[in-house]
Structure 1
Protein backbone atom coordinates (compact mmCIF):
# COMPACT_ATOMS: atom_id res chain seq x y z
CA UNK A 1 0.00 0.00 0.00
CA UNK A 2 1.51 3.40 -0.93
CA UNK A 3 2.05 6.08 1.68
CA UNK A 4 -0.55 8.87 1.58
CA UNK A 5 0.00 12.36 2.96
CA UNK A 6 -3.16 14.01 4.19
CA UNK A 7 -3.87 17.43 5.61
CA UNK A 8 -6.07 18.30 8.58
CA UNK A 9 -9.63 19.43 7.85
CA UNK A 10 -10.11 21.21 11.18
CA UNK A 11 -7.85 23.24 13.44
CA UNK A 12 -8.18 25.03 16.79
CA UNK A 13 -6.11 27.89 18.20
CA UNK A 14 -4.45 26.88 21.47
CA UNK A 15 -4.67 30.44 22.82
CA UNK A 16 -8.20 31.68 22.11
CA UNK A 17 -10.11 28.58 20.97
CA UNK A 18 -10.88 29.81 17.44
CA UNK A 19 -11.95 26.84 15.29
CA UNK A 20 -11.52 26.76 11.52
CA UNK A 21 -12.40 24.11 8.94
CA UNK A 22 -10.90 23.57 5.49
CA UNK A 23 -13.16 24.54 2.58
CA UNK A 24 -12.45 22.75 -0.71
CA UNK A 25 -14.70 25.23 -2.55
CA UNK A 26 -12.73 28.26 -1.30
CA UNK A 27 -9.40 26.39 -1.13
CA UNK A 28 -8.88 28.09 2.25
CA UNK A 29 -9.58 27.87 5.98
CA UNK A 30 -13.03 29.16 7.08
CA UNK A 31 -14.49 29.86 10.52
CA UNK A 32 -16.41 26.93 11.96
CA UNK A 33 -17.60 28.78 15.06
CA UNK A 34 -17.15 32.22 16.61
CA UNK A 35 -14.08 34.29 15.68
CA UNK A 36 -12.29 33.75 18.99
CA UNK A 37 -10.08 36.69 19.93
CA UNK A 38 -9.70 38.71 16.73
CA UNK A 39 -6.46 40.23 18.11
CA UNK A 40 -4.91 36.84 18.87
CA UNK A 41 -1.81 35.71 17.01
CA UNK A 42 -3.25 32.25 16.50
CA UNK A 43 -1.18 29.27 17.54
CA UNK A 44 -2.38 26.13 15.76
CA UNK A 45 -1.62 22.74 17.31
CA UNK A 46 0.99 21.57 14.80
CA UNK A 47 2.59 19.08 17.20
CA UNK A 48 -0.60 17.43 18.35
CA UNK A 49 -2.23 14.09 17.69
CA UNK A 50 -2.95 14.57 13.96
CA UNK A 51 -0.94 12.08 11.89
CA UNK A 52 -0.39 13.26 8.30
CA UNK A 53 0.96 9.89 7.06
CA UNK A 54 -1.27 6.87 6.55
CA UNK A 55 -0.98 3.54 4.77
CA UNK A 56 2.62 2.55 5.45
CA UNK A 57 3.91 -0.90 4.52
CA UNK A 58 5.51 -2.61 7.48
Structure 2
Protein backbone atom coordinates (compact mmCIF):
# COMPACT_ATOMS: atom_id res chain seq x y z
CA UNK A 1 0.00 0.00 0.00
CA UNK A 2 1.45 3.37 -1.01
CA UNK A 3 0.88 6.96 -0.07
CA UNK A 4 0.24 9.77 -2.50
CA UNK A 5 0.62 13.42 -1.60
CA UNK A 6 -1.06 15.87 -3.93
CA UNK A 7 0.34 19.39 -3.51
CA UNK A 8 -1.71 22.48 -4.43
CA UNK A 9 -1.35 23.92 -7.95
CA UNK A 10 -2.65 27.40 -7.16
CA UNK A 11 -2.87 29.64 -4.11
CA UNK A 12 -4.21 33.06 -3.16
CA UNK A 13 -3.06 35.34 -0.33
CA UNK A 14 -5.91 36.03 2.10
CA UNK A 15 -4.43 39.42 3.02
CA UNK A 16 -3.58 41.14 -0.28
CA UNK A 17 -5.20 38.95 -2.95
CA UNK A 18 -1.97 37.90 -4.70
CA UNK A 19 -2.58 34.73 -6.71
CA UNK A 20 0.06 32.29 -7.86
CA UNK A 21 0.12 29.03 -9.80
CA UNK A 22 2.63 26.18 -9.82
CA UNK A 23 4.75 26.05 -12.97
CA UNK A 24 6.21 22.59 -13.66
CA UNK A 25 8.63 24.00 -16.26
CA UNK A 26 10.53 26.02 -13.64
CA UNK A 27 9.50 23.90 -10.64
CA UNK A 28 8.25 26.94 -8.75
CA UNK A 29 5.41 29.36 -8.13
CA UNK A 30 4.55 32.06 -10.72
CA UNK A 31 2.51 35.19 -10.07
CA UNK A 32 -0.72 35.21 -12.08
CA UNK A 33 -1.74 38.81 -12.76
CA UNK A 34 -1.83 40.95 -9.62
CA UNK A 35 1.39 40.92 -7.58
CA UNK A 36 -0.46 42.11 -4.48
CA UNK A 37 1.26 44.12 -1.77
CA UNK A 38 5.04 44.02 -2.10
CA UNK A 39 5.61 43.98 1.68
CA UNK A 40 2.79 41.60 2.56
CA UNK A 41 3.68 38.54 4.64
CA UNK A 42 1.47 36.35 2.47
CA UNK A 43 -1.07 34.18 4.22
CA UNK A 44 -2.00 31.54 1.67
CA UNK A 45 -5.47 30.01 1.63
CA UNK A 46 -4.28 26.72 3.10
CA UNK A 47 -6.38 25.30 5.90
CA UNK A 48 -3.51 23.79 7.90
CA UNK A 49 -4.93 20.27 8.13
CA UNK A 50 -2.10 18.71 6.13
CA UNK A 51 0.29 16.86 8.44
CA UNK A 52 3.35 15.49 6.63
CA UNK A 53 4.86 13.76 9.69
CA UNK A 54 3.19 11.28 12.02
CA UNK A 55 4.66 10.17 15.34
CA UNK A 56 5.35 6.53 16.05
CA UNK A 57 4.10 5.06 19.34
More strand by share: 1
Equivalenced residue count is 49
RMSD between superposed Cα atoms in Å:
1.8
**Structure showing greater relative contact order (alpha-carbon pairs closer than 8 Å, 6 or more residues apart):** 1
Q: TM-score, normalised by structure 2?
A: 0.73
List alignment gaps of at least 5 residues for structure 2.
51-57
List alignment gaps of at least 5 residues for structure 1.
52-58
Q: TM-score, normalised by structure 1?
A: 0.72
